[in-house]
Structure 1
């Protein structure tokens, strides 16, 4: 079982990476998963090149493959201007379409003040829902004053338990499979089928 952690911290050491490591350890303790950490700052140049030429460099391609193959994902970003960082968003912008379909994801963020904690629900959760990931109910936000407090560790344990349950439970959604040859355009996620909007619209336009 593979657990991939995407950390978008910029400094060394980084509170974002510290939170990522604590979440990863708590999840790995429950699942026995092999942990791979992706530091997005190390991929900044290759991400920029991917935007301009359409091709990932070697390290970025390896990171993309790791995310796609993961059984579970932990994503952690610092808060910039009341949202996730631009570099964090850019990493997910260059992922292949469908890479996160049905994948369990734990969202987390760090910031200097507790007033930024809503970033989990107004920015991160909508992003990964749009990418068709399965976001665990508990997100983890760590402000400067949270470090060393029991409340943070409790949230880490709760979120890690929920991610572990999705990764190992019988009800886990598999990644979206390729459409069957006799159903062009249909994407299957577990037992569910979705049809692209344009295809559904064309069906409505057909004369009865």
Structure 2
């Protein structure tokens, strides 16, 4: 988005969302709006329906685990205070605007955020994915269940504290003639590529 269009969108957001507990930031040609979880649905509704904004399309929704994040404080949230967030990528077809909305879950042990399916039905599978991979609960979602992992899967594989090798592995047992789960037999290790370079690699040869 050009600087002039970015500035125009920022002014619209500041004026239309005046009085809301939000933080608007700009970086790399994009605008991010940080919203408090209790205000999410109200702000989202305004973003979608206001004629000067018209964010009618939810492009993407994803979970984020900030447990090892190391950037500056987000609008009143000290680093480490809030672990899980949901990020929404919105598109206004009418105005050709793009916007990122971020909301933090207030409880790190039981992260929960209101579902936006009533506003964008397309959020259905996105929210199920964030639930499956990060363990984020979406209040009032009509069918919140795993979508990528197996039915008997335990844990949330995109959390930073989930082991790379997982907890269990699946294999076919010829004696029982069925697929079974068993504890992981792979030793956890960090895989570092071994690189061999010539002594003069990257240098101009004389």
TM-score normalised according to structure 2 size: 0.31
* Bigger relative CO (Cα 8 Å, ≥ 6 apart): 1
Select the structure of larger CA radius of gyration. 2
The answer to which structure has the higher helix fraction is 1
The answer to which structure has the higher strand fraction is 2
